[in-house]
Amino acid sequence: MNKEQAVKNPKGLLISLCAVMMMSVMNGTMFNIAVPDIAKTYHLLPSEVSWVMTGYIMVYAVGALTYGKLADYYPYRTLITFGLTIFCLGSLFGFFAQNYGMVLLARVIQAVGGAMIPALVFLAPIKYFPNERGRVLGIVSSVMAFASGIGPIAGGFIAGFLDWRYLFLTSALIIVTLPFLRRNLPQEAVKKGYIDFVGAALIAGFISSLLLGITLGVSWLFIVSVAFFLLNIWRMKTIEEPFIPAHLFKNIKYRTTIITSFLSIVCLFGMMFMLPIMFRDAYEMGTMTIGLVLFPGALSAALMGQKGGKLVDTKGNTFVLYLALTLLAVGFLLLSTLVGAHPYVVSAAIIVAYMSFPLVQASSADILANILHKNETGVGMGVFNLLNFVSGALSGAIIGKSLDIFNPGQPFNWFGFEGTTAVYSNVFLAFSLIIIIGFVQFRMNYEKNNQTYSQKKPASL
Tens of pLDDT, residue by residue over 225-281, are 999 999 988 988 888 888 888 778 888 888 899 899 899 988 988 887 788 778 877
| Interval 168-188 mean pLDDT | 87
Q: Which of 39-43, 121-125, 165-169, 203-207 has the highest mean predicted lDDT (pLDDT)?
A: 165-169
Amino acid at the residue 260: T
Q: Is the pLDDT of residue 172 over 80?
A: yes
The answer to whether residue 18 scores a pLDDT higher than 60 is yes
Whole-number pLDDT of residue 89:
95
Can you tell me the distance from the alpha carbon of 129 to that of 89, in angstroms, rounded to the nearest whole number?
31
Under the banding of pLDDT at 50, 70 and 90, the label for residue 449 is: low
Q: Is the dihedral of CA 369, 373, 378, 384 positive or negative?
A: negative
Q: How confident is the model at residue 448 (pLDDT cuts 50, 70, 90)?
A: low
* 82-96, 197-211, 330-344, 384-398: least confident range: 384-398
Q: Which of 200, 201, 223, 198 is nearest to 212 (CA)?
A: 223
How far is Cα 7 from Cα 311, in angstroms, rounded to an integer? 24
- pLDDT attached to residue 128: 83
Instruction: Give dist(CA 296, CA 145) in Å, integer.
Output: 12
Give the pLDDT score at 335.
92
Is the model's pLDDT at 3 over the cut of 60? no
**Cα–Cα distance for residue pair 175/171, rounded to 1 Å:** 9
pLDDT at position 329 is 93
Model confidence band, residue 387 (pLDDT cutoffs 50, 70, 90): confident
Confidence of residue 457 (pLDDT cuts 50, 70, 90): very low
Which range scores top for mean pLDDT: 215-219, 401-405, 440-444? 440-444
User: Does pLDDT of 456 surpass 70?
Assistant: no
Other residues' Cβ atoms within 10 Å of the Cβ of residue 139? 25
Q: CB of 305 within 8 A of CB of 139? A: yes
User: Residue 446, CB half-sphere, CA atoms under 13 Å: how many?
Assistant: 24
* Mean per-residue pLDDT over the chain, rounded: 81
Give the model's pLDDT for residue 260.
92
Q: Is residue 434 scored above 90 in pLDDT?
A: yes
Tens digit of each residue's pLDDT (9 = 90 or more) over 140-166: 878 887 887 777 778 777 877 788 888
Residue 334 in this model has a pLDDT that exceeds 90: yes
What pLDDT, on a 0 to 100 scale, did the predictor assign at position 155?
A: 78
Mean pLDDT score, 305-315: 77
Indicate if the alpha-carbon torsion angle 140, 288, 394, 260 is positive or negative: positive
pLDDT of residue 453: 39
At residue 5, the pLDDT reads 54
| pLDDT the model gives residue 161 | 79
User: Per-residue confidence at 53, pLDDT binned at 50, 70, 90?
Assistant: confident
Q: Mean pLDDT highest for which of 54-58, 66-70, 263-267, 379-383? A: 263-267
- Indicate the range of 4-18, 256-270, 390-404, 429-443 predicted with least confidence: 390-404
Q: What residues contact 110, with CB distance under 8 A and at least 6 apart?
A: 27, 56, 87, 90, 91, 94, 171
Q: What is the pLDDT of residue 2?
A: 44
Instruction: Name the more confident of 145 and 16.
Output: 16
pLDDT of residue 122: 79
Task: Please tell me the distance from the alpha carbon of residue 172 to that of residue 166, in angstroms, as a whole number.
Answer: 10
Q: CA 253 to CA 437: how far, in whole Å?
A: 16
pLDDT band at 46 (very low <50, low <70, confident <90, very high): low
3-state secondary structure the chain: CCHHHCCCCHHHHHHHHHHHHHHHHHHHHHHHHHHHHHHHHHCCCHHHHCHHHHHHHHHHHHHHHHHHHHCCCCCHHHHHHHHHHHHHHHHHHHHCCCCHHHHHHHHHHHHHHHCHHHHHHHHHHHHHCCCCHHHHHHHHHHHHHHHHHHHHHHHHHHHHHCCCCHHHHHHHHHHHHHHHHHHHCCCCCCCCCCCCHHHHHHHHHHHHHHHHHHHHCCHHHHHHHHHHHHHHHHHHHHCCCCCCCCHHHHCHHHHHHHHHHHHHHHHHHHHHHHHHHHHHHCCCCCHHHHHHHHHHHHHHHHHHHHHHHHHHHHHCHHHHHHHHHHHHHHHHHHHHHHCCCCHHHHHHHHHHHHCCHHHHHHHHHHHHHHHCCHHHHHHHHHHHHHHHHHHHHHHHHHHHHHHHHCCCCCCCCCCCCCCCCHHHHHHHHHHHHHHHHHHHHHHHHHHCCCCCHHHCCCCCC
Q: How far is the C-alpha of 295 from the C-alpha of 146, rounded, in Å?
A: 8
pLDDT value at residue 96: 92
Q: Which of 38-47, 66-75, 228-237 shows the lowest per-residue confidence on average (mean pLDDT)? A: 38-47
